[in-house]
Structure 1
Amino acid sequence: MIMRTLSIYLIAMLLGVVVFTGCEDDFLETETKSSYTTDVVFSNPAFAQNALYGIYSLMTHDDTYSQMFPMYASMNSDIEVVAFGTGDYGDNGRRGIGNYLATPGNSELTKPWNVLYRAIERANIMISEVPDSPVMSGDDEEAKAKMMAYYGEALTLRSLFYLELVRNWGDVPFKTEPTNPDGSNFFIPKTNRDVILEALIEDLQEAEQYVPWIDRSDAATPERISKGFVKGLMARIALTRGGYSLRAESNTMERGSDWETYYQIAREECKKIMDEGVHSLNPSYKDVFVRQNQLEPDRQYYESLFEVGHGMARSGEAGYYIGIRYDTNPKYGRGNQGGALTLPHYLYSFEPEDSRRLVTVAFYKYNNLPQMEIYTDPTQFRFAKWNLKWMTDAYLSANRNAGNKLLTGINWTMMRYSDVLLMFAEAENALNGPTAAAKDALKEVRRRAFDSEMHPELVENYVESLASAEDFFDAIVHERALEFGGESIRKYDLIRWNLLDEKIKEAREMNRRIVYGEAPYDDVPQYLYYQYSEDDPEDLNFQTLNLDEELGDINIPDFDRVEWMSGIGDTDKDEFVQWLNLMSSGLDQYPNRHLLPIAQPVIDDANGAFVNEYGF
């Protein structure tokens, strides 16, 4: 049993056996200093596994999946917003990144680029060395299988890192061999992203031959790569390859050539995961996130195909930067930042009966009593999937004594089984229209969201009414927003559909209509009448809360009330609209500029091997 307060990726470093050490900051830096030479490290599976952990460990950095990619680079979409104010954030760190304002001088761009290439260099070494290991010429078949599984994991991790580079920076240097001792392949030019993505698919087709399904793995944990994620990542990359992206040559959004071929790959790989039956949906949407907050990897349903294994007080800002906002209080301890925001229209995009709604959107915070306090400021909504109330006693005890922010250790989930179902439904519909197979996959996701008595209307009738491929695609766009809010998926979906600018502008308009009481939000109440739960007086009684019922300006015994949406003052409405117009404001001047510039220090160090494009 793995201790959940300590990421498995840290074990190798604590043991002092990791082969890879070296410069933290230099692009494509050769990591020549090591505890052991590569011929020793790859001489047996135990040492090789520690080298593999050295690759995984870089995923726990603030500059990768502890903070940067899930909580800044993946923002903003039409439902996810990085906190911002009225400044021009071009060179001002992470807010500029989230609001499409980053310039090559942005101080936060160098490290994530360099850490990804560090991880790629480590993977390249492992991919190069494992096939030539003395283990592979020996007679121990079990040891050979382990080494090749590690090789498959390294291929998959490298593919993941390159996908991150491509979807954030576009065309990038594509280096698949370790750095030569003479440095002759140190700085290389960019490769077209289509070529990169096609190569990644080929790598994953090889990797899946060696990596076992999660229930047949010795690790049996979503903190390690397994066959389901290899296939799921292949599907994600294939949809990216077949989708739209910003092209350096024309500086316009263009769809990848021969897109049907790649949608077929996505369809087939998702179908294989579905048919294998290893992964399934947890029947409770809420329980998915309670388990995450409790640091309990799901070994029952394996809904999570892969998640970055953080360690409490060591890495992971889910629950700190993204999640329900808490003021400092005596019960839960030090307050969190809660800087990742969502918007009021997102709350009202859910059917009232949808169980995902209140698990996803927090229109309240916990004050210093602590007690839920409804936000009257519509700029303050958060995501509810990460919640101090659901965290472990060990974390809360430590947080009560914390002088500074205490990293939560909550794993960051890279893919859930519901994503597989919806990718299949999307690809099947794009290729063949809204077939029974496509509809069944969409229904499976929606069935979990609603109580069984609502299935005839909100699952069966809803899905069966989607008669055309266009209607079904629109339903997939909507469903993926409902299912994955706050999970760093939406922005990249909108980009590959060429809908990013359109949907963000639509979100601005929908939220303006909410506060001015215009259709389709003219029935949203002007006042919320609330009381607290008898079972837990810290929490609102959501059963009696009139989120979807206009009660007017009246007095109701035993209820308090707050102004809500169109009930707030005219000055507050105007300020909210001004705030909306600043959200993602970089896209107003450059509607297609969703890619990041390469940091100027990286350009300077590259000695002319590549330059910034896309108008930067």
Structure 2
Amino acid sequence: MNNTFFNKLTVIAAAGILFLTAGCKKYLDQQPITDVGAEMVFQDVASTRKALAGVYSRLVGDAGFGIRLSLYYTVDTDEMQGPTGNADNDRRDIARYNATSGNAQITNPFNQLFTGIEYANICISNIPKMDMYNNGSEQEKKQLRRLYGEALTLRAQFYFQAIVNWGDVPSHFQPAASLASANPFPTRTDRDTLYNRLLADLKVAADLVPWRNEITTIGDQLDERITKGTVKGLRARIALFRGGFALRSDASMKRPTDYLTYYQIARDECSEIIASNQHSMNPSFRALWKDQVNARVVADPQGELMFQASGIGRNATADTKLAYYNGPTVNNLGNKSINVLPTYFYLFDQNDLRRDVTCAPYNVAANGTTKIGQALTAMCDGKYRRDWITGPAVSPTDAVQYFGLKWQILRYSDVLLMFAEAENEISGPTAAAYNAVNQVRRRGFGKPISTPDVTVDLPAGLSKATFFDAVVRERSLELGGEGVRKFDLIRWNLLATKIAETKTALLAMSTRSGAFSTLPEFMYYRNNSVADDATLWANSFYAPAPTTAPANTTRVNWAQAAVNTTALARYATGFVTGKSELLPIPQPARDANPNLTQNPGY
């Protein structure tokens, strides 16, 4: 890889003005540091925070979780599918597994991830060399150790995203200035080797970064920066991928023979997070998303939002297009480019409150409040919605595309489900594994989280295999639309299976046969309603439509919509087992580095 992509300390110094204060939304009134050496940038806690802010900033923007890593690369799965329209050598081809190495939307994200790695490397190299790191006050030393641990964690996150999308990538664990002379054109390193390094780094970082309740004791303010729970949660996630299936250079899907070693790491890390009592779930799934994430609230009393990529500045460099590219349109503004698969909508039990948060079968009128019901094949994902944004609200006539919403990288409910999965793989469906899943389910059905409830808890007596199936399902119901599913299915070696099953189900739904025979042909939404859940509709999603239209409603062709010529016609059309589990290495990166080989099938 060409080291000219990322070898300027001046860039990180300039980016450092984006220091992530409480809420990570505001620029500080600071002058940029430009064209200076490391001794100037890493001179004290305040300047080091600015440098680390530059590392955080590479999580977002159009090439990061602002849109491409979060929304372009995470569909088509058995949950969501990408935009309508013809092949474009762009976002549509990525969604349908038709990307080529010359696709216009893969080079910049690839480069940005390695820019983030380089920025982190500069911090990791220089922070421990600071005199204050060893000889400062106890508070200064603790603050700098936290910053060092954060840099290790961010580097692991950038590497993780590069690996799950592109597989084996070059090893860059020193600043480019150090590597360029010795190895200017590195080859790709086996991902298992990279994962091992990341797991080791995160083990170190966990001892450097404080728990949530220790932040103020070291003189830092409560904000959205990485804490010990984040480090451990990311280590658990990476461990599961290290122990999972992956597409190898010989085009086969393989998992390591010692995979249980890594499941044990994941189990232990999640267990420690749970035992710490530092994190819990918001009692209301709806409030979490509508009143916290979309309301752009900084305070997180439960600590459920464990790792967030925060958008700022209303621009392509450091903000996000969440709720513009995806989610319902408002006054015809928005791309509406992520659609809920009809089969996923009906995966939810009719009493599961998560359905009406994750799925939004409406658009919003010009007044910004009145809802217009949409067909089953046209509904959007719903966790990021323009009509839910407050703090402040967005005017329905405002054509802005950047809303400062935060992409959720890791939530506490994910930790519970990772624990249950790892525990089951190691010991079978123990009481602890059941309890972890059932807490998530109870919240999803609006029940008290800690109180057993036979109406929603998983049934007793499940085998190891059936409990795993329950976890696979529950992760989809809980984490739908959050960019997790595609990579989960790959590490379980289930992506091809789930795509095939979904195509079969969509075809059956198009004729309303089998399990879909009782679906309503039509749905009727209430005129002039501002409801953003099932109460918008006058009839049931789960029973045949009434023969007479209810008063003061408008009819929508629901299951009568042509599922086979809409959703199915464009769904994962280019998927090929042994190829599509990874994106192609961008051709510009290969042109810059002749030692970069291509992924299988491209």
TM-score (norm 2): 0.90
CA distance in 2, matches of 1:241, 1:265: 10
How many matched pairs? 574
CA distance in 1, matches of 2:158, 2:26: 19
SS of equivalent to 1:400:
coil
CA distance in 1, matches of 2:21, 2:147: 24
Q: Which residue matches 1:363?
A: 361
Q: Which residue matches 1:15?
A: 30
2:324 aligned to which of 292, 310, 320 = 320
SS of equivalent to 1:173:
coil
CA distance in 1, matches of 2:126, 2:502: 50
Q: Which residue matches 1:601?
A: 588
1:5, distance to aligned residue in structure 2 (A): 11
SS of equivalent to 2:442:
helix
Q: Which residue matches 2:565?
A: 575
Aligned partners of 1:238 and 1:265 also within 8 Å: yes
Alignment of 1:6-45 (within 5 A): 8=24, 11=27, 15-18=30-33, 34-45=34-45
1:574, distance to aligned residue in structure 2 (A): 4.6
Q: Which residue matches 1:307?
A: 308
1:286, distance to aligned residue in structure 2 (A): 0.6
CA distance in 2, matches of 1:292, 1:614: 39
Aligned partners of 1:197 and 1:241 also within 8 Å: yes
SS of equivalent to 1:174:
coil
Q: Which residue matches 2:15?
A: none
CA distance in 2, matches of 1:246, 1:341: 27
1:507, distance to aligned residue in structure 2 (A): 1.4
One-letter amino acid of the counterpart of residue 565, structure 2: E
CA distance in 1, matches of 2:452, 2:549: 36
Deviations 1:327-356 (A, max 9, x none): 34xxxxxx1112111111111111111110
Deviations 1:75-112 (A, max 9, x none): 2211111113242x4xx122222221111111222111
Alignment of 1:505-584 (within 5 A): 505-532=500-527, 536=530, 541-542=535-536, 544-565=538-559, 567-568=560-561, 572-576=562-566, 579-584=567-572
CA distance in 1, matches of 2:147, 2:479: 30
1:374 lines up with 2:373 in the alignment? yes
1:590, distance to aligned residue in structure 2 (A): 4.3
Q: Which residue matches 1:396?
A: 394
Deviations 1:185-221 (A, max 9, x none): 3321111000100110000000011101123224555
1:257, distance to aligned residue in structure 2 (A): 3.2
Alignment of 1:390-429 (within 5 A): 390-392=388-390, 394-397=392-395, 400-402=397-399, 405-429=400-424
Aligned partners of 2:245 and 2:254 also within 8 Å: yes
2:483 aligned to which of 470, 477, 488 = 488
1:379, distance to aligned residue in structure 2 (A): 3.2
One-letter amino acid of the counterpart of residue 496, structure 2: D
1:525, distance to aligned residue in structure 2 (A): 1.4
SS of equivalent to 1:394:
coil
Q: Which residue matches 2:600?
A: 614
Change (3 A) 1:451 1:66: closer
Alignment of 1:150-549 (within 5 A): 150-180=147-177, 183-218=181-216, 219=220, 221=222, 223-248=224-249, 250-290=250-290, 291-311=292-312, 313-314=314-315, 315-328=319-332, 335-368=333-366, 371-376=370-375, 378-392=376-390, 394-397=392-395, 400-402=397-399, 405-452=400-447, 456-460=453-457, 463-532=458-527, 536=530, 541-542=535-536, 544-549=538-543
SS of equivalent to 2:308:
strand
CA distance in 2, matches of 1:310, 1:573: 36
1:542, distance to aligned residue in structure 2 (A): 4.1
SS of equivalent to 1:172:
coil
1:145, distance to aligned residue in structure 2 (A): 1.2
CA distance in 2, matches of 1:574, 1:275: 48
1:553, distance to aligned residue in structure 2 (A): 2.6
1:559, distance to aligned residue in structure 2 (A): 4.3
1:552, distance to aligned residue in structure 2 (A): 4.2
TM-score (norm 1): 0.88
One-letter amino acid of the counterpart of residue 210, structure 2: P
CA distance in 1, matches of 2:554, 2:84: 31
CA distance in 2, matches of 1:240, 1:83: 28
CA RMSD of aligned residues (A): 2.5
1:466, distance to aligned residue in structure 2 (A): 4.9
Aligned partners of 1:530 and 1:540 also within 8 Å: no
Aligned partners of 1:525 and 1:548 also within 8 Å: yes
The structure 1 segments of at least 4 consecutive aligned residues displaced by more than 6 Å after TM superposition are 2-7, 537-540
CA distance in 2, matches of 1:123, 1:9: 21
One-letter amino acid of the counterpart of residue 63, structure 2: D
Aligned partners of 1:5 and 1:312 also within 8 Å: no
Q: Which residue matches 2:135?
A: 138
